[in-house]
């Protein structure tokens, strides 16, 4: 299919993308394309979309130094004024929603609807951050000493490094950056090497707003490249906070490197998310939730549904309904609204999917909806695969592993205690859900003895979280929280201040020190 009919060329030019782009920027200054070239191939048709140069170690030095310098002035701009700049970014994103949504869809492979949804998440976090810019508050407390006042306040941290993944190539960056900016930090973003054009496009959008507001060079920095540039950021003591989204394997490396220098990290890593379908579930809600959770974004969300834990009395019915729904799925070009499932990101991902299917069979799983790689017209990229359902158990090694592909494992339970144990019986702890109309089951699932995940939903699938809540998870998911609620606190340093406005110097704890 000719992708021009979907307006890709036009979108690229609207976003200021060229055939070859510098991947290193401190704002309006784009550094020369000296580094190795990253080729961005679309998983939609396998063709080259554009090239981006990676950042050399020398260029990285220049970026960090410019960012450090920018921090000195950006931190003194009143937070609501920084919020005003973020408000304008939200306005600009509204203008660019369609071309950016299209680029996200074409470079990453998710549906155009989901691409637009991702840009909407960016707009929403801008709005959230604007309000937040007037609410970066600490507490006051009573001092034990007379004529003393005690309070705490939050100050910006400095340079924040953001390492993001291909699957949400723009939204996750914005969750971090918009908060960090209103908090008074400056940011260095390393997008995934699989979606570098999304990074360049966002920087172009930001640059326009920053120029109009005289924001100093270095507040918004972009670097590109493979894991080596990620290592530079993780090991750099000038970067007090590193926020990394991606696999648990990657997160363990980043966490160890940042921890070794006692820096702060915010990790949002793998999930192995389950939905419990109870005997009292509304099955229409349950099937729709499970279907979107498992095949949406071709199973490439960290919140994708990987396991269904179904009450034995409903098992056959759910299996039948779900199998029927899978047969109706249309797989193809994600820019075509008639399709439900787009491609995987690249051929490596396809190979991981195939290897996972082999392991499912070797380890005793029973495949009930067969997989396979699609071939022929429209599937030339080799990245389109069939979503799979397999009967499996937590004991199988492959079920314990997050395969970033549309493979759904289904299993049975009899008691709610057993269901919760199965739900929690994996190394990851991001998202979870129960489908039930039974109040007691629901409350047990949400109690301290219930789901051990960062997200626990009722009658909603595991994916599609709103930005207003803190986003992240426990165990191998890394423990970090991004976006809403009080996630902003990680981007700031807390300071406790005690002020003596009296004429004596009483010491705390009743200590006397008289000469």
Residue number, nearest CB to ligand UN1: 465
Give the nearer residue to ligand UN1 in terms of CB position, either 108 or 388.
108
Task: Give the max Cα distance, the chain.
Answer: 92
- Give the shortest CB-121-to-ligand UN1 separation in angstroms: 6
Is residue 268 among the annotated active site residues? yes
Quick one: 7 or 469, whose CB is closer to ligand UN1?
Answer: 469
CA 259 → CA 234, 243, 269, distances in Å? 9, 13, 16
Smallest separation, CB 228 to ligand UN1 (Å): 23
Nearer to ligand UN1, 40 or 245 (CB): 245
Q: Which of residues 22-81 bind ligand UN1 (CB under 6 A)?
A: none
Active site residue 302: yes
Distances (CA, A) of 383 to 43, 77, 237, 302, 406: 6, 47, 40, 19, 12
Pairing type for strands 366-369 and 388-391 reads antiparallel
What DSSP assignment string belongs to 187-207?
EEEE--TTSHHHHHHHHHHHH
Number of Cβ within 10 Å of residue 138's Cβ equals: 16
CB of 115 to ligand UN1, least distance (A): 13
- Shortest separation between residue 47's beta carbon and ligand UN1, angstroms: 26
Number of residues assigned to the chain: 515
Spatial distance between the Cα atoms of 425 and 187, rounded to a whole number of angstroms: 37
What is the Cα–Cα distance from 59 to 41, expressed in whole angstroms?
25
Please list every residue from 89 through 118 that binds ligand UN1, using CB under 6 A.
none
Q: How far is the CB of 232 from ligand UN1 (least distance, A)?
A: 23
**Helix, strand, coil in percent for the chain, rounding step 5:** 40, 20, 40
Give whole-number Cα distances, 209 to 27, 141, 278, 380, 481, in Å: 11, 40, 50, 39, 28
Q: Which is nearer to ligand UN1, 87 or 110 (by Cβ)?
A: 110
Of 102-110, 166-174, 276-284, 341-349, the window that binds ligand UN1 (rule: CB under 6 A) is 166-174
As measured in angstroms, the least distance from the Cβ of 474 to ligand UN1 is 15
State which of positions 448-487 bind ligand UN1 (CB under 6 A). 463-465
- Site map for ligand UN1, 293-332, x if CB under 6 A? --------xxx-----------------------------
Residue 186 to residue 105: CA distance in whole angstroms: 28
Tell me whether residue 102 or residue 301 sits nearer to ligand UN1 (CB atom).
Answer: 301
Residue 245 interacts with ligand UN1 (CB under 6 A)? yes
Smallest separation, CB 381 to ligand UN1 (Å): 22
- By CB under 6 A, name the one of 132, 157, 172, 360 that touches ligand UN1: 172
Neighbouring C-beta atoms of residue 135, cutoff 10 Å: 12
Q: From the candidates 126, 187, 202, 302, which is the catalytic residue?
A: 302
**Residue among 268, 402, 441, 476 flagged as catalytic:** 268
Please report the DSSP string for 355-410 in residue order: HHHHHHHHTT-EEEE---B--STT-TTS--B--EEEE--TTSGGGGS--SSSEEEE
Minimum CB separation of residue 250 from ligand UN1 in Å reads: 13
As a whole number of angstroms, the distance between CA 180 and CA 178 comes to: 6
The count of chain residues that interact with ligand UN1, using the rule CB under 6 A, is 10
Distance CA 121, CA 267 (A): 19
Q: Which of 71, 128, 168, 326 forms a contact with ligand UN1 (CB under 6 A)? A: 168
- HEC readout, 307-332: EEEEECCCHHHHHHHHHHHHHCCCEC
Residues assigned a catalytic role: 268, 302
**Residue ranges in contact with ligand UN1 by CB under 6 A:** 167-168, 172, 245, 301-303, 463-465
């Amino acid at each position: 299919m000719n992708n021009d009919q979907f307006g890709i060329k036009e979108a690229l030019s609207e976003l200021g993308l060229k055939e070859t782009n510098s991947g290193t920027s401190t704002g309006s200054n784009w550094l020369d394309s000296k580094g190795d070239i990253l080729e961005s191939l679309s998983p939609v048709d396998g063709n080259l979309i554009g090239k981006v140069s990676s950042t050399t170690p020398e260029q990285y030095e220049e970026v960090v130094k410019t960012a450090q310098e920018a921090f000195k002035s950006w931190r003194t701009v009143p937070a609501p004024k920084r919020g005003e700049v973020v408000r304008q970014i939200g306005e600009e994103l509204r203008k660019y929603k369609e071309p950016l949504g299209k680029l996200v869809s074409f470079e990453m492979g998710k549906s155009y609807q989901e691409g637009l949804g991702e840009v909407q998440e960016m707009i929403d976090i801008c709005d959230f951050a604007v309000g937040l810019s007037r609410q970066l508050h600490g507490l006051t407390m009573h001092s034990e000493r007379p004529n003393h006042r005690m309070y705490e306040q939050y100050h910006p941290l400095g340079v924040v490094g953001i390492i993001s993944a291909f699957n949400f190539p723009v939204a996750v960056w914005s969750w971090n950056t918009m908060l960090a900016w209103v908090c008074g930090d400056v940011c260095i973003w390393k997008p995934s090497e699989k979606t570098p054009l999304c990074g360049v496009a966002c920087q172009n959008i930001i640059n326009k707003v920053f120029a109009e507001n005289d924001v100093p060079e270095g507040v918004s920095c972009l670097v590109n490249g493979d894991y080596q540039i990620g290592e530079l950021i993780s090991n750099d003591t000038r970067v007090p906070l590193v926020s990394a989204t991606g696999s648990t394997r990657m997160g363990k490396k980043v966490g160890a490197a940042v921890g070794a220098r006692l820096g702060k990290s915010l990790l949002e890593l793998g999930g192995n998310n389950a939905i419990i379908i109870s005997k009292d579930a509304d099955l229409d809600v349950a099937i729709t939730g499970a279907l979107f959770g498992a095949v949406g974004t071709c199973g490439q969300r960290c919140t994708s549904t990987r396991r269904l834990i179904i009450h034995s009395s409903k098992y056959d019915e759910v299996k039948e309904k779900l199998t029927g729904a899978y047969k109706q799925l249309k797989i193809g070009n994600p820019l075509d609204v008639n399709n439900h499932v787009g491609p995987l990101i690249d051929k490596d991902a396809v190979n991981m999917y195939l290897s996972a299917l082999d392991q499912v069979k070797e380890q005793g799983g029973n495949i009930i909806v067969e997989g396979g790689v699609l071939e022929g017209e429209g599937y030339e990229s080799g990245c389109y695969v069939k979503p799979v359902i397999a009967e499996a158990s937590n004991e199988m090694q492959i079920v314990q592993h997050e395969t970033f592909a549309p493979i759904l494992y289904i299993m049975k339970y009899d008691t709610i205690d057993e269901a919760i144990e199965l739900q929690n019986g994996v190394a990851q702890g991001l998202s979870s859900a129960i489908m039930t109309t039974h109040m007691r089951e629901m409350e047990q699932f949400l109690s301290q003895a219930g789901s051990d995940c960062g997200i626990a939903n009722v009658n909603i699938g595991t994916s599609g979280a709103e930005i207003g809540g803190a986003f992240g998870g426990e165990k191998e998911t890394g423990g970090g929280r991004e976006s809403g609620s009080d996630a902003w606190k990680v981007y700031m340093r807390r300071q406790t201040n005690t002020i003596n406005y009296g004429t004596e110097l009483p010491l705390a704890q009743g200590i006397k020190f008289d000469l």
